[in-house]
Amino acid sequence: MHPGPTRRQPALSVIVYGGNPQGHLGELLASLAPAETATAAHATVEIVVAAVGDWARQEAERHAAHDPRTIPLPLPDGTGDTAARTAGAARATGRWLHFVHAGDGLPPGALRTITDRLAELEGPEGREVTEGRAPADILVLDHIRSTWNATGARSDDGWVLARAGRRTLTLTAFPNLLWLTPILGNRVIRTEYWRGSNLTAVAPTVASLAAAEEEPAAEAAAELAAEVTTDLAAKAPPTEDEAHTAYATLLHANRIACLHQVAYEVRESRPESRPPVTAREWFATIDRYDGLLRLLHRLLAEQESPPAPYTAHPGAVLYEVMIRDLLRTFARSRMPDPVAREFFRRASEVAVRWKPAGHRARGGFEGIRRSLLEENAYAKYRAFQAANHARRDLRSAVTARRRQVGAKLADHRYRKALSAPVDPNLAVFSAYWDRGVACNPAAIAAKLTELAPHVRPVWVVARDRAALLPPGTDHVVPGTPRYWEVLARAKYLVNNVNYPNAVIKRPDAVHLQTHHGTPLKRMGLDQLEYPAAAKGLDFDALLARVDKWDYSLSANSHSTRMWERAYPSRYTPLDYGYPRNDVYYSASSADIRAIRDRLGIAPGRRALLYAPTHRDYEAGWTPRLDLASLADALGEDTVVLVRGHYFYGATASPLAELRRAGRVLDVSSYDPVEELALAADALITDYSSIMFDYANLGRPIVIYADDWETYAKTRGVYFDLPAEAPGHVASTQAELTEILTTDAWRDESARKSLDVFRSRFCEFDDGRAAERVVRRVFLGESEESLPPTTPVADRTPAPTPQEANPR
């Protein structure tokens, strides 16, 4: 029975469907606690639990007793997923539906992420803002994958959603949406659209077409294959119905809203715990694509202006998706030969049937595979596979042999150099995995030239970065003979990460670990509980590298404690501050004016530095803000400097149009980052360690934490940033815009938060960190003779841009 009219209609109905696989249902329902959706920007959320079986029913009823939003819908044992979803959707009263399988999960904050985006799509009273166009029928979003032994691996969908941004599109305008993983959990569906479209209809099958054409050979082969099952080590494909329905939501939709944020978690059980996949299920993969392409071509034909160019045609994209999927399925599954032959024959039929006009043949091995598939040349394909495997094995053996010989030669040279005396006046520097002269090592090297000119600095720089070095920089390229020679003979080795495992720690050599940020995210051994972030890190090898450290540099007591916890060893902590931050106290007004001139920032114009960090659960980088809208709201007197994380390289920023318009400056490849900080009137960041450095300047910082719960869960953190932030915290773009278009970004509340944050995290940064390091490590002075740390309250940071260029 539906609730009475006095109840406000929910914005979103979460349909949790299925049994209670491995007891996960309770954990899932607990993650949907009311606090997750405690925002005023949208209506309520209801949770319909289409519970299959007594165990699931009991779990749903237990949660309903504590959460009135939870509506148990008991279903008998044996109810399939399709029937459970249908029943749940029929019971739902929300304007949007999100189907969540009972075995999957929602990352922390996912409901808020979804409902905030729905609130952007909808105007007052839930009416969708469409600007005269058809409303969005679905919202597509990103997801992560977890297995029985690893959590939070990113999906393969990031590149599609990164290109789509937060736009609302038609499938014809952006057919690459068809590359999204075909699961219902990564899309939120408008209820009216779901109920008005025949989305769950099963596509016609190739088998039925063959039977209609009276092909007895095909029937006989199908009957033989249907009796065989294949026990696979890989994950079975999505059920025919779910994948078909997921694709159908895109094909039927008028417009599709996009969200490049993680809001769903696919949980995969151990392969051994799943039923074996039958031949009929593999053949259903072919049938699905056949039916979907038939449906798509019919829908396109009904359009008044169907897409003409091959490259822009959704049918061409869906065809590419099909061929990729069928070839992967054939290559990676261990089908018995009769099943494999029949699968290949059927796949060949649909490959020929739906090959688009004007299709461009692929080159290389992929082109050969496709050609053999279209010819139904099963025996030739198997022979090609065998030859290709043999070729790869031979190439791998040759490559391994070459590397082995090269490694032996390098090892011989290195060990010969190790027998020579240590050079007391040689120091080797590296930063960010050999990216160049940067960060704390660069500041130390500069001060070394001033205070200890007898020590020669040599930089380790990757070959492709050497051309970017300052003129006259003495450097070596990894793997070269001189590289091993200087590593063997140097008295001092300085790095903000670690040198390779092969580097031997000589007893009379000094290794200085400077680090490259204050830790908010979990580091070192603290990543043991976060395998998705650790990404297979060899912790024993890590500790072996840590054991080579003589000194570990810190900017504050928090860092010192966390380094000792994450990297336990016998090194000496140096509570001296970060040398890279010295410039925040030594830069003059002339320096700041010169930096802003180089960046093209006019005097008096407000500059906001937006510097987001890397996320382990995203495939690539795209701004998490609609920068065009933000720039419009901030007006012509404000310029936004956008700095992508260095993990993504210099070509990461998709900001060409905004850059040309002069409203946003892409400074992702600008070095050093400290100059950007000096040029900025305020910092916008999320979880980047730049906030700890920028706080030295005493200028406003605004935190944009739109996915804090997901980040904290997948990466692990040392403290609750939103509760201890250096300024105001925004969780939506609307909140951020409100802060930046009023005086909130620099009000008294923000100032007090910054003062507390600065006192805690800028504890040792006073402008003399590099001097202390050089005098202690390179000149051997005692701790007592070093310059004492100036208290935070007594420091004078570099002038602000307004102070540097007063009107």
**pLDDT confidence of residue 213:** 33
96-101 and 187-190 beta bridge pairing: antiparallel
Take residue 537 and report the two structure tokens written for it.
């890190």
**DSSP state, residue 239:** P
The backbone torsions φ and ψ at residue 338, rounded to the nearest 5 degrees and listed phi first, read -60, -40
What span, in angstroms and rounded, lies between the C-alpha atoms of 112 and 707? 9
187-190 and 138-147 beta bridge pairing: antiparallel
pLDDT along the chain (807 residues), means of 10: 58 93 84 57 76 91 90 93 93 95 87 87 60 79 81 82 86 93 96 84 36 36 35 38 91 92 85 77 91 90 61 83 92 88 93 87 83 89 82 76 68 86 97 95 97 97 92 93 94 96 93 97 90 78 94 96 94 97 97 93 94 74 74 91 62 44 76 95 96 98 92 89 96 94 96 97 98 98 96 97 87
Of the candidates 589, 609, 608, the residue with the CA atom closest to the CA atom of residue 806: 589
DSSP bridge partners of 572? 551
**DSSP state, residue 474:** -
Count Cβ atoms below 10 Å from residue 593 Cβ, excluding itself: 17
The backbone torsions φ and ψ at residue 688, rounded to the nearest 5 degrees and listed phi first, read -75, 145
In the numeric block, the tokens 């970004």 are attached to: 745
In the numeric block, the tokens 């300085």 are attached to: 494
**pLDDT confidence of residue 391:** 78
Take residue 496 and report the two structure tokens written for it.
């903000």
What span, in angstroms and rounded, lies between the C-alpha atoms of 430 and 422? 19
From the number of C-beta atoms within 10 Å of its C-beta (0-12, 13-18, 19+), residue 1 rates as exposed
From the number of C-beta atoms within 10 Å of its C-beta (0-12, 13-18, 19+), residue 453 rates as exposed
What span, in angstroms and rounded, lies between the C-alpha atoms of 562 and 570? 15
pTM value is 0.63
- Does residue 143 contact residue 181 with C-beta atoms inside 8 Å? yes
Contacts of 361 (CB under 8 A, 6+ apart): 367, 370, 371
Helices (H), 605-706: 627-634, 656-661, 673-679, 690-694
Of the candidates 143, 114, 100, 144, the residue with the CA atom closest to the CA atom of residue 10: 114
What span, in angstroms and rounded, lies between the C-alpha atoms of 28 and 10? 20
Rg of the chain taking only CA atoms, in angstroms: 30
- Does residue 138 contact residue 519 with C-beta atoms inside 8 Å? no
Of the candidates 167, 25, 178, the residue with the CA atom closest to the CA atom of residue 106: 25
From the number of C-beta atoms within 10 Å of its C-beta (0-12, 13-18, 19+), residue 281 rates as middle
In the numeric block, the tokens 């032994």 are attached to: 149
Q: How far is CA 642 from CA 551, 621, 625, 627, in A?
A: 34, 12, 11, 9
Q: What angle do CA 675, 680, 686 make, to 5 degrees?
A: 100
- Torsion, Cα 523 524 530 531, to 10 degrees, reads 130
Helices (H), 467-506: 481-489
Mapping DSSP to helix (H, G, I), strand (E, B) and coil, where does residue 447 land?
helix
What span, in angstroms and rounded, lies between the C-alpha atoms of 494 and 511? 6
DSSP bridge partners of 299? none
DSSP string, 652-664: ----HHHHHHTSE
Exposure b/e, 479-505, CB count within 10 A at least 16 = b: eeeebbbbbbbbbbbbbbbbbeeebee
**pLDDT confidence of residue 640:** 93
What span, in angstroms and rounded, lies between the C-alpha atoms of 559 and 565? 10
**pLDDT confidence of residue 737:** 95
DSSP string, 320-337: HHHHHHHHHHHHHS---H
Task: Respond yes or no on whether the N-terminal peptide bond of residue 124 is cis (omega within 30° of 0).
Answer: no
Of the candidates 163, 172, 178, 179, the residue with the CA atom closest to the CA atom of residue 309: 172
Mapping DSSP to helix (H, G, I), strand (E, B) and coil, where does residue 153 land?
strand
- How many whole angstroms from its chain centre is CA 532? 11
Of the candidates 90, 111, 89, 249, the residue with the CA atom closest to the CA atom of residue 184: 249
> What's the pLDDT tens digit per position in 523-547?
999 988 887 677 778 899 999 999 9
Percent of the chain's residues with pLDDT above 90: 56
> What's the pLDDT tens digit per position in 750-769?
999 999 999 999 999 999 99
Of the candidates 708, 718, 757, 792, the residue with the CA atom closest to the CA atom of residue 563: 718
What span, in angstroms and rounded, lies between the C-alpha atoms of 527 and 12? 35
Count Cβ atoms below 10 Å from residue 249 Cβ, excluding itself: 23
